[in-house]
Amino acid sequence: MASNPQPPNVPAPDAAIIQASWSVPERFAEVFERHFAGIHRYIARRVGTSLADDLASEVFKIAFERRRRFDLGVDTARPWLLGIATNLIRNNHRSELRQLRAVQRLGDDYLATTGSELEDAQEAAEMSVELARMARAIEMLNSDQRDALLLHYWAGLTHSEIAASLHVSPGTVASRLARARLRLQSALAVPRRHRPTGLLKALLRVNA
Amino acid sequence: MIDQLDVDSLVVLQRLEADVALPSQRVRAAARSQLIQVILAEKADGRRHGSPLHGAQDGRLVASEMPARFSRKSIGGLRLPVATAATALLVVLAAGAILQGHPSGRTTPTASPMRAILAAFASASEDVVYIKQTTTSSDGMTTTIDTWTHPAAMPPEGHSVEWRVLYFGPDGKPVSDVGLRYVVGSPLVALGPKPGKFYPSGEILDVEYATRSWSDQLNQAVVGPTFTDDTIGSLILSGRLAVQGTSTLDGQRVLELGSAVGPEASTTLWVSATTYLPVRRIFTYTAGNDSYQVHGTVVSDISYLAPTRADLALLTPDIPSGFTRTAAPPLLYPQG
């Protein structure tokens, strides 16, 4: 191995930390410190904060046990960790559905906690309706499409990173994303053309 | 097929994921604590599997677990061990295993010092072993762990084992202080979802500095400790540890033992020439790839303390004033 010492205080890539943890397991704690908050947040978005506390912890325990399978050619461990998180989320599909359905029931609460100006309230009302429809549309996706969509738009992973995290080809990711977008557009387009002004007015009265 | 969401949908989708709070310090501390338990569990497993007295498994990497980019060409000679113990002496096991595989290596120990070391272990078996382990690496990370273990060697059934692990953060301040206690022969309880992970049930006193809280947990799976004396004793009995010379360390004459573990790692153990007990171990390693490497050094300073009342008290974590007692965190894994 070529000698290539780095200057001190330069953060090492996750790959180097993970390989170091092969011989000094405590070093894996650095991976935890770097990524726990982000992984927790992604899981919380999908299944709620309460379950995220347990699942995010589980992600790092599993990652530690599987760390020798990590591809050392990839600098960051984030896609790998998100892949583990995704598998755990799949095992808790009912919780994700509950989370999405909770958003669909948010309308009144959302209005009650937003601005008092008519314009703000109007925007808030429209947004609450849109959020509910989006949550419904996401719920309608199959799990493959939902994982690809949310890893891309919520976690910010690229196609190739999603492919690595889900152990599928980049082409499969592209296909799943395209189908997910198509279904979302389809689910959202019709109501937009017939915007429910009656519903909006009814919602606005709640805040009047 | 479409390549992008329309702007309106994108705004709504991103709004849907907004407003999720970061995990609290309590959640983070609990998760960190659980990860540490798993790390310790692997160390305990590695010690058992790595013992030369328990078969050929030495914890080395197997080819199927190696990422393709790091083939045997790059690390084949290293055969990194699965884990080191909190005392980090397991690496010596791997060193011995390598030497055994290479007859031309240093495999002939000096018999008399080795007998003296074994005799010293026997006389100190009731002592408290205190180890200050400091890990520094070229990427600027420094961690320190203090451990106290009593007794120094695995006692017979019915006797207590106590272990305290005090972790310090990079700023040198305590992060967590955990005391573990179990009786040898206690019923085994599961740790983790995998079958076969069972450990003695015992008590865990956990003091968490991030949350200024502490908890006392009973009937928990207690992992560890690794007994330094047992590990080194096994190596000596199997003839895998070699005396390399004598030197002076902190003013005392010492014997130097150990060996390089391939080009990427080496371990050295210093034993007092007066008491024949270990006083320091230094393990160096290199990890990374062709574009980036991390060099690390693990220094373990080892002290044997007579089991006086004062020294035995060191096995119990301090609970700073003002820390609040919390309910025991949930079991590491769901039961049943």
Dist CA B158 CA B55 (whole Å):
26
Residues of chain A with pLDDT under 50: 1-3, 107-119, 190-208
Instruction: Give Rg (Cα) of chain A.
Output: 21
pLDDT on residue B104: 32
| Count of CA atoms in the C-beta half-sphere (13 A) of B175 | 20
Across the interface, whether the CB atoms of A5 and B36 are under 8 A apart is answered: no
Q: Give B6 to chain A, closest Cα distance, Å.
A: 8
Q: What is the pLDDT of residue B191?
A: 65
Question: DSSP characters for B23-34?
Answer: PPHHHHHHHHHH
Q: How high is the pLDDT of residue B94? A: 26
- B25 CB neighbours in chain A (<8 A) are none
Q: Which residue has the higher pLDDT, A80 or B237?
A: A80
pLDDT value of position A9: 56
Within an 8 Å CB–CB cutoff, is residue B126 touching chain A?
no
What per-residue confidence (pLDDT) applies to B318?
93
Give the pLDDT mean for B81-108: 28
> In sequence order, which ranges of chain A are alpha helices (DSSP H)?
14-23, 28-47, 49-65, 78-90, 93-104, 107-112, 118-140, 143-153, 159-166, 170-193, 197-207
pLDDT score, position B111: 54
| Residue B26: predicted pLDDT | 78
B56 contacts B21 by C-beta, under 8 angstroms = no
| pLDDT at B313 exceeding the cut of 90 | yes
Q: What are phi and psi of B178, to 5 degrees?
A: -125, 125
B93 or A199, which is more confident: A199
pTM for the model stands at 0.54
Query: Above pLDDT 90, what percent of chain B?
Result: 19
Task: Look at residue B175 and tell me whether its pLDDT is greater than 80.
Answer: yes
Residues B242-272 pLDDT 10s: 788 899 998 999 999 876 555 566 778 899 9
Position B45 scores a pLDDT of 60
Give the integer Cα–Cα distance in Å for A200 and A208. 12
Q: Which of B33, B62, B171, B289 to mutate to test the interface with A (most CBs of A within 10 A)?
A: B289
Find the closest chain A residue to B192 by CA distance. A61
Least confident of B83-92, B282-291, B303-312: B83-92
- The pLDDT tens digits for A58-87 are 999 999 989 988 988 888 999 999 999 999
pLDDT of residue B57: 25
How far apart are the C-alpha atoms of B296 and B328, rounded to whole Å?
36
Q: How far apart are CA B165 and CA B177, in angstroms?
A: 6
Q: Which residues have C-beta within 8 Å of that of residue A145, sequence separation ≥ 6?
A: A176, A177, A179, A180, A183
Per-residue model confidence (pLDDT) at position A11:
67
pLDDT digits (tens, 9 = 90+) for B102-149: 233 333 344 578 888 888 988 898 999 999 988 887 777 777 889 999
Has residue B219 got a pLDDT over 60? Answer: yes
pLDDT digits (tens, 9 = 90+) for B23-43: 887 788 888 878 887 887 776
| Chain B stretch 184-243, residues whose beta carbon is closer than 8 A to a beta carbon of chain A | 192
Peptide bond into B151 cis (omega under 30): yes
Shortest distance, CA B304 to any CA of chain A (angstroms): 24
The 10 Å Cβ neighbour count of residue A147 is 25
The pLDDT of residue B334 is above 60 = no
